[in-house]
Amino acid sequence: MQRPRFRRTSLRLPCALVLAGLLGAQANAAEPGDEARWNRVAEEIFGHAELALQETKSAETLAVELEKEGFKVERGVSGMPTAFVARIGSGSPVVGILAEYDALPGLSQKSGTASKQPVVEGAPGHGCGHNLLGTAAVAAAALANRERIARKLPGTLVVFGTPAEEQIIGKTFLARDGAFVGTDVLLSWHPEDLNYVYTRPRLAITVVDVEFFGTTAHAAASPWMGRNALSALELFDHAIALMRESVLPTARMHRVIKAGGVAANVIPDYTKVQYFVRDETGERVDGMLRRLRKAADGAALATETRAQVTVLAATREPIYNEVLSRVMQQELEKAGAPAFDARDQELARAIQKEIGVETSGLALTVIPYGPLHGGTASSDVGEASAVVPLAELAVATRPQGTPAHHWAQTSCAGTDVGRKGMHVAARVLARSLEALLASPAKVAEARAEWTKATKGRPYVSPLAEGAKPARW
């Protein structure tokens, strides 16, 4: 696989109209009834905690909520049973929002606890807060749609149910299959420890399996007959360790050994290591991959084994659209940071103390728009942004300075800390969707910026030809 070189309803319509009229132009996630509804949805998905491409109940929960609001939902998009596309309205502009809902392995955690306490040892958990992510995206679409009806706004709202973000699968396949074509702009958000709009591109990533095939033999009686696949893996791994000296400081290469042999007295004839290769741009990742392939071949040559490198997943760095980002920043500043109370802060500080970071509690301010806001974690929003102008919002749902992919985020994702962040995200996203529906000129401006940013770089999927969505 080559990376691109550059690179219905319980609320029928009349009811919805009446409701929208009652709520008026101020309808938002702060409605007490609405908050309780979305809290239930987030709680349900938190309880399901389904892994990538297995998010059957979580995707259905969100799809059903959209149908209650009148959205027409197409399920099982791009060969992924847990992907969906929900639409409402007609004509342009076509304003989209991304929803994620997959959990992470081994991050099961009791809500509201300040030390590692799995509900079920080793079970999956929402350690990246995607129960909040998917729910806020759907809540925002529902709220914006009521506003669209009440204000007779033109255009179409689209919700993309994108599974398997944690395995860089959902949006990469949706982009390859043209699911985003026809959508003018896309908004997304992610649970974080601070409140801002992303401007620093997440890292591009390619995930590879490197396998070595050798010859087995008795490790004591006839070792000369063997060709050790573990030796090849070790040599390869050492080559990559040495290579770290001559890559940019922004590069990340990390791995787990998936197969290392079965018994010390049997010379391993098969081993497998999985590498994540990341840097600021997809081009740089491609450069490192070329060297990684040489290292694998070199290790195989030296040990008389055979190497095979297989790309499992990839996404480029996101192109953040400034026009869209500034629309979201304005709405974030109007909404303000989540109103965390003393109880929330108490939990936050206890978690920070347990982890060993500064006990500064939860973020209570909004960071002004500026460069380099965001972290180095990768996301398949990168692939979506290569096809449609995109902006991404961050809202605090965990204590400052604490990591994602961690029991602490799972703990907060099932409490008021996570839920308050989720409601702010829903409000900001809803208001931004409404602003874009109401301003075709703004949408055109965002598209002009995107066209300039991607000029001469037609979209080429990083997926191998004929690739099918599969867990790895």
Enumerate binding residues for Zn ion (CB under 5 A): 128
Quote the least distance from Cβ 30 to Zn ion, whole Å: 25
| Tokens coding 254 | 């990390």
Tell me the closest approach of the beta carbon of residue 382 to Zn ion, in angstroms.
13
Query: CB-wise, 171 or 447, nearer to Zn ion?
Result: 171
Which CB, 129 or 361, lies closer to Zn ion?
129
Give the span between the Cα atoms of 152 and 310, in whole angstroms: 51
Please state the closest distance from residue 214 (CB atom) to Zn ion, in A: 38
- Least distance to Zn ion, CB of residue 128, Å: 3
Strand order, beta sheet including 252-259: 252-259, 270-279, 204-213, 306-315
CB of 190 to Zn ion, least distance (A): 6
Tell me whether residue 128 or residue 393 sits nearer to Zn ion (CB atom).
128
CB 214 within 8 A of CB 229: yes
Closer to Zn ion by CB, 137 or 235: give it: 137
Question: How is residue 31 annotated by DSSP?
Answer: S
CB 24 within 8 Å of CB 150 = yes
Q: Which is nearer to Zn ion, 128 or 273 (CB)?
A: 128
Minimum Å distance from CB 165 to Zn ion? 6
| Kind and range of the H or E run holding 235 | helix 229-243
- Are the CB atoms for 314 and 284 separated by under 8 Å? no
Q: Which is nearer to Zn ion, 128 or 299 (CB)?
A: 128
Query: Which residue's CB atom is positioned nearest to Zn ion?
Result: 128
User: Under a CB-based contact definition with an 8 Å cutoff, are residues 419 and 343 in contact?
Assistant: no
Closest alpha carbon to 371 in 189, 200, 190: 200
Between 254 and 468, CB nearer to Zn ion:
254
Instruction: Report the alpha-carbon distance of residue 445 to residue 64 in Å, rounded.
Output: 34
Angle at 177 between CA 176 and CA 181, to 5 degrees: 95
| CA nearest neighbour of 194 among 415, 404, 401 | 401
Omega prior to 201 cis, within 30 of 0: no
In the complex, minimum distance from the CB of residue 130 to Zn ion, in angstroms, rounded to a whole number: 6
Q: Which is nearer to Zn ion, 352 or 409 (CB)?
A: 409
Q: Reduce the secondary structure of 181-218 to three states and give it as a string.
A: CCCCEEEEEEEECCCEECCCCCCEEEEEEEEEECECCE
Which amino acid is located at 456 in the chain? G
Measured distance CA(9)–CA(64) in Å, rounded: 8
Query: Which of residues 107 and 307 has its CB atom nearest to Zn ion in the complex?
Result: 107
> Shortest gap between Cβ of 213 and Zn ion (angstroms)?
35
Specify whether the backbone of 138 is left (phi greater than 0), alpha (psi in -120 to 50) or beta: alpha
Task: For the CB of residue 189, give the shortest distance to Zn ion in the complex, in Å.
Answer: 10
DSSP bridge partners of 30: none
Neighbour count for residue 423 (Cβ, 10 Å) = 27
Q: Any idea what DSSP says for residue 372?
A: T
User: For residue 406, what is the DSSP state?
Assistant: S
Contact (CB, 8 A) for 187 and 320: no
Quick one: 128 or 208, whose CB is closer to Zn ion?
A: 128
Closer to Zn ion by Cβ: residue 204 or 435: 204
Kindly tell me which of 128 and 319 has the beta carbon lying closer to Zn ion.
128
The kind and range of the H/E element at 98 are strand 94-99
Distance CA 114, CA 302 (A): 50
